[in-house]
Amino acid sequence: MIHPLPPGTRDVLPTEMRELRALSDRLRVSFEGAGYGEVWTPLVEYEETLRRGDDRAARAGVYRMFDDRGRVLVLRSDMTVSIARLVATRYGGVQPPVRLSYLAHSYRAVERGRGQAREFLQGGLELIGPAGAEGDAEVVSLVLAALEEAGLRRHRIGVGDGSLVRGLLGELEVPEERRGTLLEHLSRRDLVALEVDAEELGLSPGARDLLVAIPTLRGGLEVLDRAEGPVARSAEGLRALYDLLAASGAADRTIFDLGLVRELGYYTGAVFEVYDPAVGFALGGGGRYDELLGRFGTPLPACGIALDIQRVHAAQAAEERLG
Amino acid sequence: MIHPLPPGTRDVLPTEMRELRALSDRLRVSFEGAGYGEVWTPLVEYEETLRRGDDRAARAGVYRMFDDRGRVLVLRSDMTVSIARLVATRYGGVQPPVRLSYLAHSYRAVERGRGQAREFLQGGLELIGPAGAEGDAEVVSLVLAALEEAGLRRHRIGVGDGSLVRGLLGELEVPEERRGTLLEHLSRRDLVALEVDAEELGLSPGARDLLVAIPTLRGGLEVLDRAEGPVARSAEGLRALYDLLAASGAADRTIFDLGLVRELGYYTGAVFEVYDPAVGFALGGGGRYDELLGRFGTPLPACGIALDIQRVHAAQAAEERLG
């Protein structure tokens, strides 16, 4: 007798569960210790609410249904939009900064047949109030330190500028309907496809060179020196972040990556991805989203990172095998 | 700007969240210490799977939707059916007993406007293998001890027989369509309504007296002595459980209640409800379900109890206020 589970979901048995709890608890202690109090938001939200935050985040929800009054409900695909709603609703009179963390499942659409999880446990934090490099550095340093306390040794953080590519696509007057493909080619670092895109869009040789150069701007501090034209502005912002990260001892773990494109649309500044050489996928990511809280009526700059607990666990296990 | 939440859901802010985590962790330590390893099952299950376990449990699910192949999915309303599925699927070759625990949200339909939670956090355990009073006593003693370790002092367990009323309704040949109302009157201990029911059903005076007597059979060990006729059989089974509970020091916390009716249909033996005088609602409940695992192809007796963490927290807070 076979009792199938919905695609992208699975049972977790005691041995693995014990390890996931231990890892979650350790991250929670690190976050709490730095003043990030844990919150819970309902798993089910009105699609309208999520869409107010970010249309892509609302569309990323894989499970949606009607309530008894015909309104569309979605299982959250992400905690950040819900926390933005929570802060606007419940922290109206509170003087920023507000430091919040979470440890909860989210549900996201994935391509069928790729064996990806649709149900995944996230641990993350949101820093509301501090703007720019100062806020970014706090969040990045804390996540790197928490992962170190969890036993990771070789983890790195990729740092890009979420506003760079979007700004550039605007300046180059790339039509809205072509941007998705272009962003995908950028995130895949597919230089050949980008050359073709540039040709099809009739970009000037200078614009084409700029576009094709972006995905190659990946590495240490020297990457920022190589940045030219509109990219130089982003480099300047990232240099300020680097100085703060260096002061907290995190410089060695930082990889600048100006081609880093995050899938959600609400990022307005620095964007992040967390890596470990032991596993072949990002352990998490995030960025600065200075416009999201304003959409819920409380304009405040903010920044956050979410870790995929299952993937951090895989990295942790790999590190342990390496001794 | 108001951003409403779906009815029966709410945000939890850090102060409360910290207390809920502390309580959950303490229960988890108690359960793990007694050999109950924690498991996770997907939040979303096929309705067909839940219905195989228990039609009422499947119908209790408040959130349901179609997947991209047109199958109906439900957010679990209960962990027990999912764990029965998990044991049948993943513990096929394991020698019982199997001891499992969980700490997870479930989603259940509630009457609109009554302010009840639709999203609620449950901590519970399932003991698969040991039959009858022996298994029941292990589960009850462990839950009572875990609540004591969590700071409760005056909690009690109501113990009834889930097969008694159902068996009686069969013997009295009460038609299927009348049973729901009758069970509801029994669970409300509405003696006047039960008299009317008995009259409308044309029950004999003896049968009527039996029906009306059941809700009054509530109290200490003396209740079992007062049981007559078909109720005496139930009393015999509960006496064996009492002896085991007395041996583990839990006799004082036990309230026999032969009118105790649990809403889910899968209980086949002893049923339980957990109370604390500080709060006006049951903190949790459960019972013996010897036929559920067989429906998934692995016939094994089993017994479990689930606690509503939010309600236990309320009782804990009330106990602390009382000093």
pLDDT for B235-291, tens place per residue? 888 999 999 999 999 999 999 999 898 766 788 999 999 999 988 889 999 999 999
pLDDT at A310: 95
Q: Which residues of A touch B105 (CB under 8 A)?
A: 43
- Are A267 and A162 in contact by the 8 Å Cβ rule? The answer is yes
A251 or B167, higher pLDDT: A251
Query: Is B316 annotated as belonging to a binding site?
Result: no
Give the residue-averaged pLDDT of A40-67: 88
Query: Cα separation of B117 and B272, whole Å?
Result: 21
d(CA B105, CA B121): 4
Instruction: Give the domains, in start order, of chain A with CATH numbers.
Output: 14-32+121-162+217-322 (3.30.930.10)
A305 compared with A207, residue with greater pLDDT: A305
Provide mean pLDDT across the span B210-216.
88
Helices B14-33 and B132-149, packing angle to 10 deg: 140
| Residue B256 near residue B224 (C-beta atoms within 8 A) | yes
Extract the tokens encoding B314.
Answer: 């309320």
More confident residue, A113 or B22: B22
Give residue A119's pLDDT: 94
Least confident of A135-139, B21-25, B189-193: B189-193
HSE at residue A251, side-chain half, CA atoms within 13 A, is 11
Could you tell me which of B309, B312, B294, B284 has the C-alpha nearest to residue B140?
A: B284
Residue with tokens 């590495």: A219
- Starting at the edge strand that comes first in sequence, how are the strands of the sheet with A270-275 ordered? A37-38, A98-107, A119-128, A302-308, A284-288, A270-275, A156-161, A254-257, A218-219
CA atoms of B143 and B312, how far apart (whole Å): 12
* A119 interaction partners in chain B (CB closer than 8 Å): 42-44
User: How confident is the model over B77-108, as pLDDT tens digits?
Assistant: 989 999 999 999 999 889 999 999 999 999 98
Per the listing, tokens 């909860």 go with A104
Asked if residue A162 has pLDDT above 60, the reply is yes
- Percent over 70 (pLDDT), chain B: 97
At residue A78, does pLDDT exceed 70?
Answer: yes
- Under 8 Å CB-to-CB from B157, ≥6 apart: which residues? B140, B143, B144, B250, B253, B254, B255, B272, B273, B274, B275
* pLDDT at position A315: 95
Q: Answer for the pair A275, A283: CB distance below 8 angstroms, yes or no.
A: yes
pLDDT score of A69: 82
- Statement: residue B112 has pLDDT above 70: no
Give the ipTM of the model, two decimals please: 0.93
CA A278, CA B39: separation in Å to the nearest integer?
26
Burial readout A180-197 (b: 16 or more C-beta within 10 A, e: otherwise): eebbebbeeeeeeebeeb
Sign of the four-CA dihedral B66, B67, B68, B70: negative
**Lowest-pLDDT range, A106-120, A132-146, A174-188, B7-21?**
A106-120
- How high is the pLDDT of residue A186? 86
pLDDT at A230: 78
What does the pLDDT read at residue A110? 66
pLDDT of residue A276: 94
How far apart CA B233 and CA B82 sit, in angstroms, is 31
Contacts of B44 in chain A (CB under 8 A): 6, 9, 63, 75, 107, 119
Q: Select from A40, A77, A107, A108 the residue whose CB has the most chain B CBs within 10 Å, as the one to mutate to test that interface.
A: A40
pLDDT of residue B55: 83
B105/B309 Cα distance (integer angstroms)? 10
| Chain A interface disruption, residue of B25, B40, B120, most A CBs within 10 A | B40
